[in-house]
């Protein structure tokens, strides 16, 4: 990889403290900060469509990425397929992603309540009142939105298809 590209990717992958400073700067500059989260294990067209739509809701997109230990607790011992560093670098490579921050907890509640994005986004399979962090974002004057998934795509179904082909 070209060194300048690697530097750009690495600059997007950050910790909560650094990201909090960056978000404060963005907001002072009038930027509209969007936050979403997930595992993003095997990135597919559904993820790309979802993230692109989320990015269009504001001017800066932050992705809270479940760390490996969090994924194992949520998805089982065989997950993730790709480790957190690989998943973070892949997400950071998208031009419409401005920051990626890892979290070890089962939910991004701490990230959301610390960053207080202008817009919190989840998939349309969630009811707004059940979205982690929605209460805090709304109380801070922000918005909570849902985005419809591209039908027929999920990392779990792709993994299952691969396993079935190997049997």
The CATH code of the domain that includes 73 is 3.40.50.620
Assigned token pair, 166: 């190997």
What is the total count of domains within the chain? Answer: 1
Helices and strands, counts by H and E, the chain: 8, 6
**Which segments in the chain show pLDDT lower than 50?**
none
- Burial class from Cβ neighbours inside 10 Å (0-12, 13-18, 19+) for residue 115 reads buried
Q: What distance in Å separates the CA atoms of residue 47 and residue 41, rounded to the nearest whole number?
A: 10
Strands 33-38 and 13-14: unpaired
pLDDT for 165: 81
pLDDT for 3: 73
pLDDT for 65: 98
- Which range marks the domain in which residue 118 is found? 3-166
- Give me the residue label for tokens 């990626």: 100
Contact assessment for residue 129 and residue 47, using Cβ atoms and an 8 Å cutoff? no
Phi, psi of 31 (to 5 degrees): -75, 150
Report which of 74, 58, 45 is spatially closest to residue 121, judged by C-alpha positions: 58
């Amino acid at each position: 990889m070209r060194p300048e590209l690697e530097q750009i990717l690495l600059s997007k992958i950050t910790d909560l403290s650094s990201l909090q400073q960056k978000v404060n700067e963005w907001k002072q500059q009038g930027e509209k900060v969007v936050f979403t989260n997930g595992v993003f294990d095997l990135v597919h067209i559904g993820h790309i469509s979802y993230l692109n739509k989320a990015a269009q809701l504001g001017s800066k997109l932050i992705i809270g990425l479940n760390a490996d230990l969090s994924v194992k607790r949520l998805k089982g011992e065989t997950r993730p397929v790709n480790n957190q560093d690989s998943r973070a670098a892949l997400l950071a490579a998208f031009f419409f992603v401005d920051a990626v921050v890892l979290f070890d907890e089962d939910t991004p509640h701490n990230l959301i309540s610390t960053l207080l994005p202008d817009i919190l986004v989840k998939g349309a399979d969630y009811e707004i009142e059940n979205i982690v962090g929605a209460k805090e974002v709304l109380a801070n004057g922000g918005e909570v939105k849902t985005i419809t998934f591209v039908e027929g795509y999920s990392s779990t179904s792709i993994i299952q298809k691969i396993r079935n082909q190997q049997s």
